[in-house]
Chain A
Amino acid sequence: MNRMIRQLTRRSETYVLLIVILFSAFVTAINPAFLTLENLFDLLRSSSGTAILAVGIFLVLLSGGVDVSCTTIAIVGQYISVNVLIRTGIDNIFFMFAISIALGIALGAINAVFVSLFRLPTLIVTLGTSSLYHGAMLEFVGTKAVNVGGLPQSIKTFGTMDVLTLYRPDGTTYGLSVFFVMLVAVLTLTYFILKFTMVGRGIYAVGGNLEAARRAGFNTTKIQFFVYMYAGMLAGIMGVMHLGLIRYSNPNYLVGTELSIIAAVVLGGTRISGGTGTITGTMIGVMLITILEKNLIMIGLSSYWQQFFVGVVLILGVSITYLQAKFQKTGRQIILKEEE
């Protein structure tokens, strides 16, 4: 028990979770509407997409890389697939998912070619491909936003679909969005892959020591392809969810938000150098940026403060874990006998 507590104090996500709890308590004190089931369901609906994207970025970080192209892949998947739906007249959400996911996987595979086969630095590769994917889409597909009037019905239905409906006292309803179910499915699947498959352990191995992974006989090419394609797939899913949520497809949306998602993942205890991190931590990190984003207005601060606070928490979180590691090391060096 003691050992568990000591381990928890060494992890930055513990502190992030504390901040989340304190902040929630603070917001609730000012505005009791915060801690209601309805608000919670709303938060879950609006953050599930981000959380799914964060899982993709988490996997890439775990494998020792960085992916800044995920948000671009998401918007490319969304914008192309919604345009296909409109132009073909096939008004089917599954069809849209199929297109967006296929695109996501394909673009992820392109990233993997550069990262794994050409062994280029992942940050540069994804910076490059992100710009390339976005530019190509704007040029060849279009720049015109699709507004709610032009949106296929299936997307609107998907966006408001609930798996659990509850009644307010006045008889109107609210519910738990299907988005949350999708998030849970992604989390479960990812957890299973990471914990119980050789590919999943391979991701940890590659992130921990790429050369050793090669020597041990892991197929590192296959593993890196899996990571980037999986992240691309999740981005494709997120693109569709994002449209369902905001009902407006602007090809310039999402791009530029990747850094705050990476920040969330790192806040959740994932090491930027790869090999270490947990899904739970990632979700705690996402919780923090979501709560900051949605509730600063509730306590009377402009939403610009979100960026500010994410920065503060990120630097604090990293400092705490770094200082602890340093302290542990010097503490271990020599223990002098007490002088009488």
Chain B
Amino acid sequence: MAEVFLAAKGISKTFVGVKALDNVNLSIGKGEIHCLIGENGSGKSTLIKIIGGVYRADSGTISIDGVEMHGTQAIEAIRAGVQIIYQDLSLFPNLTVAENISVNQMLESNQQTVNWKNVRETARKALEEIGEDIPLDERVENLSVAKKQIIAISRALTQNAKLIIMDEATSAITSEEVAHLFSIILKLKERGIATLFVSHKLGEVFEIAENITILRDGKLVGVYPSQELNEEKLAFIMTGRNLAFEPYRYDPSMKGDTPLLEVKHLAKKSQYRDINFTLHPGEILGIIGLIGSGRTEVVQSVFGLDPADSGEILMDGSVVNITNPRDGMKHGIAFLPEDRLTQGLYEAQSIGDNIVVTILDRFLKKSQLLNVGKKRESEAQWVEKLSIKTPTPDNPVNSLSGGNQQRVVIAKWLATDPKVFILDGPTIGIDIGSKHTIHEIIRGLAREGMGIIMISDEAQEILDNCNRILVMSNGTIIREIEDSTTITRDELLDVIAQRVAVGAEA
């Protein structure tokens, strides 16, 4: 390995009795691309905050470029060349690109006044270093997440960064943008700048990392050269469980004569057009496409959010009129939105209240008052059925982890006895262990005869769980893959990116 840049040895840290980190080591060479992986709560954020000087370790040493760090001052780490890019990127949306890039340097130099010529010059140089061209006077709020990331990287460069730590760098950008980000990281590597990706999920980062450090429950599980691992093995090491499972097999005998749901010539101006598909009992139908391909818009219309301009929706063979979510629910459609926090949950309310909100009318007594006993009974049932980890359904829903919150949203919709369940990004931001549980729940529902539509950004997730796949681009279905076992992940990615001729069905 190349010369060591960062060496953290024997790091331990306890927060009010909870051991967040227990004798953890991390070593990163100069210019190395390293990956720190662990589930939520495994201690990876604590570790990077200790490296960044935000927290002080209870024991252990950190040396950067051979010099041991003493303080808890973030500035000490910054001066030593460590830059942390948090998931929220810490940018100023209201300021220009130039100012966002230069601001840290201006503060560092302790100047009292602003020289706008220098501001632009600093920004221009930083962008030039990584070969990027973003208008200096554009406000950052008008940029895409990927561009914002580039701004954050450029800002790190103005501080003479030697190690850039990126927290969940690839979770909010498209795969094309990920590829672009990687090309920048490789450029930095050429100049001897190391990168540490911190993530709770496997995936793209895998392709670029040289070494992978894995944490579990605050302990170091191991450091592996990335070529020695594959996703399955990594998942096993990370969770301590064997999570590999068979792709979902659809039993065609469940199919029946009439489809559960049929969509004919659905169209909506400037969003999608001529959408046709069917869904049979027991099917898990995957819809995949880049953000903006119209996939979310289509299913929202089917459910009744943002109805279509024209076209027909048939349930059990008869045309239904769905113009709002109440219609959708009435016809037996449930919809789990992409952003569970803003669209799916009442954060401050209890777990139980969140589950039964869709079926409150069932607990009404003749007097129009709620039958509280019946309501609580139902709440407890659902908590048990989906094994939501909580001592009582009365706890606020935001006390749960992401995976458990997602189960609450699923329970909420299952309570309505849907025939068709649409899940948009069911495992976004959820770590691998929980993800697996949610997949199991979804498969179970399908086996019982429910029709499932699953939307995901992850080709692997779609391939593992769906028996049939629709690929969307630019508001149309560009390809239907009847049997998902006939296509590989790479082929699917090619179709999504339209790198192969459309319609060449295998």
Contact = CB atoms under 8 A, between A and B. Distances in A.
Contacts of A195: 114
Contact of B271 (A204, A209, A215, A333): A333
A212 B292 contact: no
A201 B114 contact: yes
A198 B292 contact: no
B114 A275 contact: no
Contacts of A335: 270
B333 to A, nearest CB: 24
B130 to A, nearest CB: 20
**Of B86, B94, B95, B273, which is in contact with the most chain A CB atoms at under 10 Å from its CB?**
B94
A4 interface: no
**Of B92, B93, B104, B112, which is in contact with the most chain A CB atoms at under 10 Å from its CB?**
B92
A209 B138 CA distance: 17
B475 A334 contact: yes
Nearest to A275: B94
A275 B113 contact: no
B71 to A, nearest CB: 15
B275 interface: no
A58 to B, nearest CB: 14
B157 to A, nearest CB: 15
Nearest to B293: A334
Given A333-B270, A334-B271, A213 B92 contact: yes
Contacts of B106: 198, 201
Interface residues of A, number: 30
B428 interface: no
Contacts of B104: 216-217
A336 B474 contact: yes
Interface string A186-211: 00000000011111110011011101
B270 A198 contact: no
Nearest to A192: B113
A200 to B, nearest CB: 8
Interface string B102-138: 0110111001111000000000000000000000000
Interface in B62-93: 74-75, 86, 88, 90-93
A216 B85 CA distance: 11
Interface in A140-156: none
Nearest to A211: B90
A204 B107 contact: no
A216 B107 contact: yes
**Of B88, B93, B95, B294, which is in contact with the most chain A CB atoms at under 10 Å from its CB?**
B95
B273 A204 contact: no
Contacts of B75: 217
Contacts, number: 80
Contacts of A87: none
Given A201-B114, A205-B103, A216-B107, A333 B292 contact: yes
A209 to B, nearest CB: 5
A212 B113 contact: no
A212 B92 CA distance: 7
Contacts of A197: 112-114
Q: Is the interface of A mostly helix, strand, loop or mixed?
A: helix
A160 interface: no
A333 B90 CA distance: 25
Interface string B188-215: 0000000000000000000000000000
A335 B269 CA distance: 10
B176 to A, nearest CB: 16
A154 B104 CA distance: 49
Contacts of A333: 270-271, 292
B99 interface: yes
A326 interface: no
Given A198-B106, A333-B292, A212 B91 contact: yes
Contacts of A168: none
B90 A209 contact: yes
A334 B474 contact: yes
A14 interface: no
Contacts of B95: 201, 204-205, 208, 275
A218 interface: yes
A195 B96 CA distance: 13
A276 interface: yes
Given A197-B112, A198-B113, A334-B475, A216 B93 contact: no
Contacts of A200: 114
Interface in A313-334: 330, 333-334
Nearest to A330: B270
A217 B114 contact: no
Interface in A233-278: 271, 274-276
A215 B90 contact: yes
A6 interface: no
A205 B92 contact: yes
Contacts of B108: 217
**Of B93, B107, B294, which is in contact with the most chain A CB atoms at under 10 Å from its CB?**
B107
Given A334-B475, A336-B475, A275 B92 contact: yes
Interface in B271-319: 271, 273, 292-294
A198 B93 contact: no
Contacts of A196: 113-114
A208 B114 contact: no
A196 B106 CA distance: 12
Nearest to A207: B94
B474 A201 contact: no
A339 to B, nearest CB: 7
Interface in B11-63: none
Given A197-B114, A333-B271, A336-B270, A209 B92 contact: yes
A193 to B, nearest CB: 10
**Of B93, B114, B292, B293, which is in contact with the most chain A CB atoms at under 10 Å from its CB?**
B114
A195 B474 CA distance: 43
A218 to B, nearest CB: 7
A213 to B, nearest CB: 7
A336 B271 CA distance: 7
B292 A201 contact: no
Contact of B273 (A201, A213, A275, A336): A336
B474 A339 contact: no
B156 to A, nearest CB: 12
Nearest to B108: A217
Contacts of B99: 201
A339 B273 contact: yes
A208 B92 contact: yes
Nearest to A214: B90
Interface in A267-313: 271, 274-276
B10 to A, nearest CB: 28
Nearest to B109: A198
Nearest to A197: B113
Nearest to A336: B475
Given A209-B90, A211-B90, A334 B292 contact: yes
A15 to B, nearest CB: 20
19 contacts: A198-B107, A198-B114, A201-B103, A204-B92, A204-B95, A207-B94, A209-B91, A212-B88, A212-B92, A216-B104, A217-B74, A217-B107, A330-B270, A333-B271, A333-B292, A334-B293, A336-B270, A336-B273, A336-B475
The 5 A-B residue pairs whose C-beta atoms are closest, nearest first, are: A275-B94, A212-B90, A208-B94, A208-B92, A217-B107
Given A201-B95, A275-B93, 13 more contacts: A198-B114, A205-B95, A205-B103, A209-B90, A209-B91, A211-B88, A212-B90, A216-B103, A333-B271, A334-B475, A336-B270, A336-B271, A339-B273
Interface of B: 74-75, 86, 88, 90-95, 99, 103-104, 106-108, 111-114, 270-271, 273, 292-294, 474-475
